[in-house]
Amino acid sequence: MDMILSVTALDHIMDDLEFSVTLDTLRDLLKEDGVIVTLEYSPREARSKSYYQRFMTLDEWRSQFMRRGFVLQNSYGFFHPEEAPCDSYAVYQSLFSGLKGKILKRLVRIFHYTEFHHRGEFLNTWLRTRARQILEKTNDFCWEAEKKDSPVNIMIWGSDDGAAKGR
């Protein structure tokens, strides 16, 4: 494969052996000049594991991939609503504030949790359109990791001169 994409999946493999086997399998599936793109929780500071997530630091991710012959080619911080919010998210959230926001929240609940859910398509379309308009005005949900810290990162891993497959 030329590229493998993993979105918030690897960090949930809790068994060390299964994790190692998974990375080895991905390495074996990848062409020599291919890349693995991961979007994973990867804070700079260590956090305790939970029952369902490893919470590996960025350095731990580097170490795991380096053991298999990969280098981190690039890393981008990614939006997190609580730990790394972005301005566009705040603008979107403002849709749900004040009296209009209370009405909107009520409509969302009515359409989502009742037999009227099929009538909520107009509201869903409006919300998607509004979100797209907000995002078109900004590009702040992703940034170079070196410029701003983030607990979630898009990491692009490439072969260390073909070493990933013993070349």
Query: Rounded to an integer, what distance in angstroms lies between the CA atom of residue 73 and that of residue 45?
Result: 21
Does residue 99 sit in helix, strand or coil?
Answer: helix
Rounded to 5 degrees, φ, ψ at 119 are -85, -10
Segments forming the whole domain that contains residue 99: 87-137
Q: Residues 121-164: pLDDT tens digits?
A: 777 788 888 888 888 888 777 777 666 678 899 999 998 765 44
Quote the number of domains for the chain.
2
Q: Is the pTM of this model over 0.85?
A: no
Q: Do 53 and 105 have their domain in common?
A: no
Mark whether 110 and 159 lie in a shared domain.
Answer: no
My answer on whether 77 and 103 are in the same domain is no
Same domain, 113 and 147: no
Residue 166 — pLDDT band, cuts 50, 70, 90? very low
Same structural domain for residues 64 and 105? no
Residues 45 and 13 in one domain: yes
CATH number at residue 40: 3.40.50.150
Structure tokens at 68: 């298999």
pLDDT tens per residue across span 27-86: 999 998 999 999 999 888 899 999 999 999 999 999 999 999 999 999 998 888 888 777
Q: In this structure, are 131 and 153 located in the same domain?
A: no
Claim to verify: residue 23 and residue 71 sit in the same structural domain:
yes
Tokens of 128: 């998607």
Task: Give yes or no: residues 19 and 72 share one domain.
Answer: yes
- Pair 7, 50 in one domain: yes
15 and 66 assigned to the same domain: yes
